[in-house]
Each structure stands twice: as structure tokens, then as C-alpha cells.
Amino acid sequence: KGEVGNTEVNLMKKQVSALQGQLTMLQAGLAKFQKVAAFPSGQIVGNKAFVTSGYEGNFDDLRQRCLQAGGQLEKKTENAAIQQIAIIHKKAVFLGINDIQTEGRFKHLNGDDVTYSNWQLGEPNNDKGAENCVEIFVNGKWNDRFCGENRLILCEF
């Protein structure tokens, strides 16, 4: 009468059980791969992974290498994660943020306005009228900086 028979129910139970096994294997594999991807200096915050190639380049290099990444950075925890990368490499890191379009209005690579910020005292100062990019120091604070400077390149995935 349109009801599934016993054999069909049993078959489905077997299939579900097989899927559960496969899912458990996948979860374990993914957890392991996340650790591999984050080694030695990558940082995972929730669904986001922040990594650097260890390469120092200018902001155009960053844009080219991580266009997809966007460098979204909206939480204190994310700032702390990127600070860790600076600490590990003992180098300042370029954030995926700039005010090239409108002076004083910092945006992410995807065009979203920056909401969270952590400026060093006295920054951003647009020194010599030529600072449209943003570096994060080992102390976690931000400084606007000339985009042509070479800094560690950050990507978010």
C-alpha cells in the first residue's frame, strides 16, 4: 500500500550505516588535513584559515596571490590569529585592506567596509600622503603604510 517493505528498510539501514562510517572517516581525514595545512604558521579561526607563503611582497603581489581570499578580518580573534603569524615570522604582515578608492575609508579586497580595526596610537596618519595599505605589527597593532613596501603576504581561505 505504498509502504516500504521490510527488506527495503533493512537495505536502507545498511546503507545509512555504511554512510555513517564513511562520514566518520572523512571527518577524521579533514581534521588531520586542517592541521597539515596550518603547519607551521597557519592559523585557523572557525571556518577561516589564515596563512602566509612566507614571501614578502608589495600589496599588488598580495592582491594577485589571494584575490579570492579577501583578507576579511572582523574579529579580535582573527586579529590575534594574524598577529601570531607576525610573531612566528618576526615580521610585519600586510592585511587585505586599503583606502585606495577613498582616502580614510578602509575596505577589504572584496569591497566591504572594514568594521573591526586595531590601529596603533596615532595611526592611520597617511604619512607623506602616500599610505593606503595596512600592516599589522608583531604587537598586533595596525599602521597604514605605502602599498609598494614589501611585507609578509597574508591569505585567507
Kindly list the residues in this chain that would bind ligand 293 in the complex (CB under 6 A). Answer: 123, 125, 127, 131, 143, 145
Give the DSSP letter string of 78-92: HHHHHHHHHHHHTS-
Q: Establish if 144 lies at the interface with Ca ion (CB under 5 A).
A: yes
Residue 46 amino acid letter:
G
CB of 113 vs ligand 293, minimal distance in Å = 22
Gap between the Cα atoms of 63 and 18, Å rounded: 44
**CB 52 within 8 Å of CB 85:** yes
Q: Considering the complex, what minimum distance in angstroms separates the CB of residue 53 from Ca ion?
A: 25
Give me the least distance between CB of 125 and ligand 293, in Å please: 5
Asked if 54 and 89 count as a contact pair (C-beta separation under 8 A), the reply is yes
Least Å distance between CB 64 and ligand 293? 23
C-alpha cell belonging to residue 139: 604587537
Q: What are phi and psi of 91, to 5 degrees?
A: -140, 150
Residues 104 to 143: which contact Ca ion by CB under 5 A?
123, 125, 127, 131, 143
Give the Cβ contact number of residue 59 at 10 Å: 26
Q: Please, which residue, 69 or 134, has the CB nearer to Ca ion?
A: 134
Count residues near Ca ion (CB under 5 A): 6
Q: Does 78 bind Ca ion (CB under 5 A)?
A: no
Footprint of Ca ion on this chain (CB under 5 A)? 123, 125, 127, 131, 143-144
